[in-house]
Amino acid sequence: MRLKNYAEGSWVEGTGGGQPLFDACSGEQIATASSAGLDFGAMLAYGRKTGNRNLRKYTFHERGRMLKALALYLMDRKEKYYNTSYRTGATRTDSWIDIEGGIGNLFAYASLRRRLPDLPYFSEGDPAMLSKGGSFIGHHILVPKRGVAIHINAYNFPVWGMLEKCAVNWLAGMPAIVKPATITSFLAEDVVRDIIDSGILPEGALQLICGSAGNLLDFVEDQDVVTFTGSASTGMTLKSHPAIIRNAVPLNMEADSLNCIILGRDASPGTPEFDLFVKEVRREMTVKCGQKCTAVRRIIVPESYIEEVESAIRTSLHGCVIGDPRAQGVRMGALAGKVQVQEVLEKLQLLLSECRLVVGDPNAFDVQLGSAETGAYLPPMLLRQDSPMQASYIHEVEAFGPVATLMPYRNLEEAIELAQKGKGSLCSTFVSYDSEHVTEYTIEAATHHGRILVLDRESSVESTGHGSPMPLLVHGGPGRAGGGEEMGGLRGIRHYMQRCAIQGTPTAITAITQQYQYGARQNQGDIHPFKKHFEDLQIGETLTTHKRTVTEADVVQFANVSWDHFYAHTDATSLEGTPFTQRVAHGYFVLAAAAGLFVDAAKGPVLLNYGLDECRFTKPVYPGMTIGVRLTVKEKTAQEKREEEDYRKGIVKWLVDVYDETGETVAIATILTMVKMKKEV
C-alpha cells in the first residue's frame, strides 16, 4: 500500500520510492510514504486563500458545532482506527488514549463555543477608560490570523497529536497542515480520510503530508503559526529556521522531557499513597511502552523507603505480559519501530554508565505471541542511582521507552532540587497526603514544570494520572520541555488569533465588539424591550423607567422579609465611625426595586431571569432619595436547541444602571434573561 497526501483539496501520491513503513509487532512492511513532488509553497498559499477564508467567515458557535459533528462522526468509526493502531505497537488501552483522547479534544473545544460570542472574533478583558470625560476608551479584540497552522507531530500519538492541535486552530478560525511522523503516518492518514469524506469541515481546513516535511518551512509567512512536538534538538533547529526568524512566525514547541514523580515522606509503605505511587510508576513505564512525552523518567523517593519502593516496583512489573497487542492478556505492546528500539538502547548505555539495572534485561525477556527478533519489543527497565545529586546523565539523557531511574532524597528541599535538575519538564507528580509538603513542593517546583499533579487517596478516585494532559489545561513546559503551551481551553485559541488594541468612542467600540460599552449612544424605543423577541433586540437599546422614592418603611420591610438586620440598615445609633450618615437601604433592596421599575409584568418573550454576572453598589441610598433605572441591551448570545421539541431562545445581558435624583449612579449590574426567538418558519 502507498499512502497518499492530501494537498490543495486532492489526494496526491508522492513520487519516488518512498519510506517503507512496518507493523511494529511483526516487522511486516505495510505501506510506503512519500511527500516527494508536493509543492509546499502552493499548499500554504491554498490554505491561506481557501481554507482560511472559509473558516474565518464562520462564528465561534458555528465552528464549535462543526467540531462536535466531526467528533461524533469519528467516534462512530473508532473501531477501524483501533485495528490500524495495533500495527503501531499500541495496546487497546494505549490506543484509547490516542484515538478517543484525540476525539475527546474535539468535544472539549466544541463545548467552549458557549463561552464565546456568536461572532467570528471576540473582545477580551475589560474596557480601558482613556479620558476623563469617558468619551474616549480602549479595548482589545482577537481576530483569526490569516495564515495556516502547521503541525509537525511526533510518532507516539498520531491521532491525539493531530486532533488536540487542530481542534484549537479550527475553533479559532485557522486551517491546518498536519505533518505526522512518517513512521506512524498510516494511522493519521486513516483518520484524515474520514475527516475529508465527512464533508463537515469547509474546503481547505485540513491538508496532510505523509513523508518528509522537506522545505515546507521555507514558505511560512508572518500570519502562519507552527507547532512542533518531538525532540528538543529538532525543535531548536526549527526555531532557528531563517523564515521563522525573518517573519517572526510563532513556533510553539513541546519537547520530550525528564519528568519526575516524587513520593512524599508521609507516604510510607503500607499507606494508600505508597500503593498509588507504585501503581502510577508501573503505568507510566508500560503505557505506550513509555513512549510518551509526559512519561516518568525519574522516580524520586525518601532514602529510607528506597528498598521497599524498588521491591514493590519489581513485583508490580513482574506480571507485565509483553507481546502483540492483538493477543489476549498482553499488557505492553511494541515500540513504534526497530529504529526506536535502537535509540532507546543507545541512551540506556549512557545511563548505565552511572546507574545499575535492577529490573528488566533488554537481552533476555519473554514475548507472548510475537517475535523479539522481528518486532520492536523491549521490557520495562528500572535503573537505580543512589547518589543523584552527583550524577549527570539521569538529569540530561532520556531513553524514550520503558525506562526510568529510581533515586533517593534526604529532605524535601533536596527533592525539589532534584526535580529542578531536569531543567524544565512537562509534568511532575507529588504523591502525598500532607498539605504542607504538597504546598511547599508545588510553589517551589512550579518554575520548572508545565503541570504538577498532586496524587493522594482522595484524588485517585477520579484522577486522570500523571501522563494525561487535559484539553482545558495548558500542556507544555519551560526550558528543556520547549517553553510552549498547547490546549489550555480558551487560552489555546489565542495562539491562533491576533490581539489588537482598539480605541475610540464608547459608541464606536460598542459597534466593533457587539457589547454595549458604558457611555455609548443609547437608543430609546417605543416598545418595552421585554415585549420583544431575541432577534428584535438591538445592542444599545435602552429603556428609561419611571422613578420611585425609597422610604423608611421600605428599609424596615425588606429587613423583615430578608432577615438581613445588619446594623447599618436597622440601628441608626451604631453608625458612628462608618461611611453612613443615617440608616441605609439594603443594596439588594435597591436592585430588587430596580427590577420592579424595569420588569414588564405581562407574559411575553422573556422566559426567566438567568442570573447576575456582576453587581456594584456605588453610592448609599437613604430614605427619601429617588431612584430610576436605565436598562440597556448589553450583549446577546443565541442558544442551541438541545431537543427537537425545545424552543429557540437566547441569553440577553442587560446593563442595569440605577441612578438617583442627581443623576449619579448608585448601583450598576449586569443581569441575564432567557428570551424566546421568533417561531421557526
HSE (CB half, 13 Å, CA atoms) of 669? 18
180 φ/ψ angles, rounded to the nearest 5 degrees:
-70, 160
Note the pLDDT of residue 645: 64
Q: Is the residue at 512 inside a domain?
A: no
Residue 483: per-residue pLDDT: 85
Which residue is catalytic, options 100, 164, 189, 254? 254
pLDDT at 357 over 50: yes
Comparing 296-305, 345-354, 407-416, 458-467, the range with the smallest average pLDDT is 458-467
Residues 240 and 299 in one domain: no
Q: Is residue 650 part of a domain?
A: yes
Q: Which of 25, 166, 210, 293 is catalytic?
A: 293
4 in helix, strand or coil? strand
88/288 Cα distance (integer angstroms): 10
CB atoms within 10 A of CB 331: 18
CA 217 – CA 219 distance, rounded (Å): 5
Residue type, 202: P
**Domain end among 256, 285, 308:** 256
Helices (H), 213-300: 232-239, 242-246, 272-286
From residue 58, give the alpha-carbon distance in Å to each of 52, 510, 538. Answer: 10, 21, 21
Q: Looking at the predicted structure, is the pLDDT value of residue 58 above 60?
A: yes
Q: Verify that 179 and 264 share a domain, yes or no.
A: no
Indicate whether this model's pTM tops 0.85.
yes
Average pLDDT over residues 354-360: 94
Residues whose CB falls within 8 Å of the CB of residue 564, separated by 6 or more in sequence, listed in order = 558, 586, 588
Summary mean pLDDT of the chain = 92
Q: Are 298 and 409 in contact (CB under 8 A)?
A: no
Domain that holds residue 151: 4-118+147-256
DSSP tag of 50: I
444 and 593 fall within a common domain: no
Q: Based on the fold, state whether residues 275 and 397 are members of the same structural domain.
A: yes
Residues of the chain with pLDDT > 90, as a percent, come to 72
| Helix (H), strand (E) at residue 592 | helix 587-598
- Does residue 666 or residue 155 have the better pLDDT? 666
pLDDT in tens, 553-563: 999 999 999 99
Average pLDDT for 639-663:
87
Distance CA 174, CA 148 (A): 6
Residue 485 falls in the annotated catalytic set: no
CATH number of the domain enclosing 179: 3.40.605.10
Based on the fold, state whether residues 233 and 299 are members of the same structural domain: no
Taking the CA atoms of 530, 533, 534 and 539 in sequence, report the sign of the dihedral they define: negative
- pLDDT, tens digit (0-9, with 9 covering 90-100), for 242-281: 999 999 999 988 888 899 999 999 999 999 999 999 999 9
What number is the average pLDDT over the span 305-309?
95
Question: Is the pLDDT higher at 109 or at 366?
Answer: 109
Do 248 and 329 belong to one domain? no
Asked if residue 179 belongs to a domain, the reply is yes
- Please tell me whether residues 232 and 265 are part of one structural domain: no
507 found inside a domain: no
Residues 270 and 239 in one domain: no
pLDDT at residue 681 is higher than 50: no
First to last CA, the chain: 51
Kindly state whether residue 347 falls inside one of the protein's structural domains.
yes
- 157-185 pLDDT per residue, tens: 999 999 999 999 999 999 999 999 999 99
Domains in the chain, number: 3
Of 256, 289, 308, which marks where a domain is finished? 256
In terms of domains, do 544 and 615 share one? yes
Q: Residue 286's pLDDT is what?
A: 92
**Where residue 655 falls among pLDDT bands split at 50, 70, 90?**
very high
**What pLDDT, on a 0 to 100 scale, did the predictor assign at position 365?**
86
Domain of 576, CATH number, reads 3.10.129.10
- 186 and 328 together in one domain: no
Q: What cell numbers appear for 457 in the block?
A: 487517596
Percentage above 70 pLDDT, the chain: 99
Taking alpha carbons only, the member of 302, 308, 310 closest to residue 406 is 310
**467 falls in which pLDDT band (50, 70, 90)?**
confident
Between CA 220 and CA 246 the distance in angstroms is 10
- Shared-domain flag, residues 76 and 189: yes
For residue 307, being part of any structural domain is answered with yes
189 part of a folded domain? yes
pLDDT tens readout for residues 115-128: 898 999 999 989 99
How far apart are the C-alpha atoms of 457 and 276, rounded to whole Å?
8
Claim to verify: residue 282 and residue 190 sit in the same structural domain:
no
Question: DSSP class of residue 677?
Answer: P
293 is catalytic: yes
The predicted pLDDT at position 641 comes to 77
**Residue 430's domain is classified under what CATH number?**
3.40.309.10
What 8-state DSSP symbol labels residue 150?
Answer: E
Query: Which of 197, 229, 256 is the endpoint of a domain?
Result: 256
Residue pLDDT, tens place only, 6-42: 999 999 988 888 899 998 888 899 999 999 999 999 9
Considering the domain boundaries, does residue 140 fall inside one? Answer: no
What mean pLDDT is predicted for residues 485-490?
87
Residue 642 burial (10 A CB sphere; 0-12, 13-18, 19+) = exposed
